A = this chain, B = another copy of it.
Amino acid sequence: MDHRETVDTYWRAIDARDWPTLRGLLAPDVRYEVPQSSELVRGPEAVVRFNAEYPGAWRLSPLRIVADAQGAASWIDFRLDGESMTGLTFFTFDKAGRVATAIDFWPEPYERPADRAHLSELQ
């Protein structure tokens, strides 16, 4: 499985609550990190549990995956209690191709700053 397939399978396993498949994609020393909130989850059991017990009614779908020999990045749509959120993740892998680190970011909407309003249009 190449890195792109691994990331695609990772997200589809989480969305399907298929914990044995997710577990099989993770390196023994996997780290899941959320830099915005300083959250760190270490080891496959804890990473599976983080996803299995993540609160709320949620579904996700990958929108873009970029992958090369060193790593990967993905952009997912995450629907939490009916609200659409953007999830961006940077991955690294061990030599067996398992996920070694997954670093998640959750950007939130904000208002265009006035001091750069002359430089863009609004979609």
Contact = CB atoms under 8 A, between A and B. Distances in A.
Interface stretch (A11-19, A20-28, A30-38): A30-38
A109 B68 contact: no
Contacts of A40: 120-123
A44 to B, nearest CB: 14
A83 interface: no
Contacts of A53: 116, 118-119
Given A66-B70, A70-B66, A71-B66, A105 B123 contact: no
Nearest to A92: B64
A33 B64 contact: no
B55 A66 contact: no
